Chains A and B, each alone.
Chain A
Amino acid sequence: MTVIETEPSFIPVQTRSERPKSTIRDDFAALTGREAAFKYTPVAELSALSDGPLDGAPLPIRVSGDAVGFAASLIERTDERIGGAGLPEDRLSAAAWQAFDKAQLLSITGEDAQTVTVVRDSAGAAPRAAHTVIEVAPNARATLVIENSGDAQLTENVEVLVGDGAHLTLVTVQQWADSARHVASHFVRAGRDATITHIVVTLGGALVRLNPSAHLVGDGSSAQLLGAYFADAGQHLEHQVYVFHEGPHTTSRVTYKGALQGKDAHTVWIGDVLIGPKAVGTDSYEQNRNLVLTEGARADSVPNLEIETGDIIGAGHASATGRFDDEQLFYLESRGIPEEEARRLVVRGFLAEIVQQIGVPELEERLTSAIEAELSEASVA
């Protein structure tokens, strides 16, 4: 018998929840791009954020609307809420954690399902770190929209504590300038019967790597994680989604849809679902769909499902990356609609499934227009 020895010091991580965690950057080795979580990421372009000094001053924000039951304030690093939803699992996240001065607290106590918009449009071109804690009181309900635009070199952590029985819709929109680089880890922790709808819309930025995780701790909690992205020539848009069903009777649905066009447009989606040993009655499904509109674009899509209990309702995943459906285009063209407009309709329709779930009509319209603008820009180029 031949024994093939691999690197003896290499101990594989057995389960998704056992990845090393630390708030100290150098507890993680310098990035090489060979790490499983960075396999598809152009890590060299992120060296300023992963290795350099970071400005830890809180990111300037503007809050629109005078919603009752919403408050924004800064809290100290020692605040007990910090670290309550999750801890960094990679060097970029730890670098942000180590560097931030004060955290931005967004606190939701209202029960009237109001919509609050937080605009972050002046991060600037210097490398910086940020930390945000979104705290939703038990039984509170709200839609919180975080709109990112302008230039940025930003690595950040966003903690979302959803109290028992609370309902939060959290929408983050990445419409960064062409030069921006943005790395974010979102940690959602859902209490008993809590519901989180987490929606990511990523359109702008040279490199965006946004990793949402939802930790369904409370009995009966549920998470819907939705994403829509559109990558043009040269853009790298990455989303690594992780759902951990820890408590019993928890539900998750993950749907990410992306369109790509232009040379070296690159998207990455990695979807991890872990159903823990106590998570009986789990109902989980994750899917990723990509529409590749031109030659030279690349979509990587990796669904992973780990199940540690057999007593579940359902768990499944699907991934599909394809070109335009010729039959759809022909159908529209056979009704007199010119090819370019037919393509626009199909792409808009493809991403509309996600955008339509935001529930804020003004924002939905704006994002639909932004998606159409992406399409027409590319057809000119």
Chain B
Amino acid sequence: MSVLEIRDLKTTVKTEQDVKEILRGVDLTVKSGEVHAIMGPNGSGKSTLAYTIAGHPKYTVTGGTITLDGENVLAMTADQRARAGLFLAMQYPVEIPGVTNTNFLRTAKTAIDGTAPSIRTWGKDVTAAMDRLRMDSSFASRNVNEGFSGGEKKRNEILQLELLRPKFAVLDETDSGLDVDALKIVSEGVNRAHEATGLGILLITHYTRILRYIHPDFVHVFVAGRVAEEGGPELADRLEDEGYDRYVAAASAN
């Protein structure tokens, strides 16, 4: 059993004009096996939370803590965090010209595990995982994300999630830009990883649509850089009906 604990987390980002405060005291605890949905309107800081957990250098933590099983995550570099068991499925996966997916996946797996994967089984594992995500085998020899469609990039993120087997995964708007078929395939992949490894999931989304396929245990409404309300799956249903207006109005009244 692992625990990812976020306490009173405050983050700023430097823009060209000034320094902007984005996260204003986030509290969140995710345990192995749990699925938490973070829902909120655009600009509420959801993606900042995702990037801050993963250690993107663009964001500066000005207060609070993130710990993984008691270890100080904020003291770790991005690659150390990944090796400690954190994974971020990005909203906009990055293209790496000249680096094949095969080479990338093997390099990442070797870094995460500390030893190179078995030559005998690794190739089969990759092929099987790609099959399950309905990815054509040609994606193995193509350069990472280069020329992939939006949906193909998202599948490639989930492929990594399945192969790298993290303790906790943050899925940053994985549902955006996916049609229904692709959304099902990607959701199945997430559910498979969840069942296979019992990882904890932080599912960041604007819409409730993906929650039909990935069922959250907890729902957190994120507004103006902090959690405004928490509840069970029923909270998502309420958001479906009412939207975020109620929270946004309350936040601006403060």
What residues of chain A have their CB less than 8 Å away from a CB belonging to chain B?
325-328, 330-339, 341-342, 345-346, 348-353, 356
The CA of A362 and the CA of B94, in the complex, are separated in Å by 30
- Could you write out 23 A-B pairs with CB less than 8 Å apart? A326-B57, A326-B58, A327-B94, A328-B96, A331-B90, A333-B78, A333-B82, A334-B54, A334-B79, A334-B90, A335-B108, A335-B111, A336-B82, A336-B164, A337-B82, A339-B79, A345-B103, A345-B104, A346-B96, A348-B98, A348-B99, A349-B96, A356-B98
Residues of chain A within 8 A of B57, CB atoms compared: 326, 330
Contact assessment for A345 and B107 in the assembled complex, using a CB-CB cutoff below 8 Å: yes
The CA of A356 and the CA of B103, in the complex, are separated in Å by 15
**Chain A at the B interface: mostly helix, strand, loop or mixed?**
helix
Contact assessment for B108 and A336 in the assembled complex, using a CB-CB cutoff below 8 Å: yes
Q: Is B160 an interface residue (CB 8 A)?
A: yes
Residues of chain A within 8 A of B56, CB atoms compared: 330, 334
Q: Is B210 an interface residue (CB 8 A)?
A: no
Contacts A335-B111, A336-B79 supplied; 19 other A-B pairs, CB < 8 Å: A326-B57, A326-B58, A328-B96, A330-B78, A330-B94, A334-B78, A334-B81, A335-B164, A336-B108, A338-B111, A339-B77, A345-B103, A345-B107, A346-B96, A348-B99, A349-B97, A349-B98, A350-B97, A352-B98
The CA of A333 and the CA of B97, in the complex, are separated in Å by 16
Closest Cβ of chain B to A243, distance in Å, is 24
One of A330, A336, A349 near B99 (C-beta < 8 A): A349
State how many residues of chain B have any CB contact under 8 Å with chain A: 30
Residues of chain B within 8 A of A327, CB atoms compared: 94
Q: Is B198 an interface residue (CB 8 A)?
A: no
Contact assessment for A328 and B79 in the assembled complex, using a CB-CB cutoff below 8 Å: no
One of B88, B96, B97 near A334 (C-beta < 8 A): B88
Q: Which of B183-217 contact A (CB under 8 A)?
A: none
One of A326, A338, A341, A345 near B96 (C-beta < 8 A): A345
Q: Which residue of B lies closest to A347 (CB)?
A: B98
Closest Cβ of chain A to B238, distance in Å, is 33
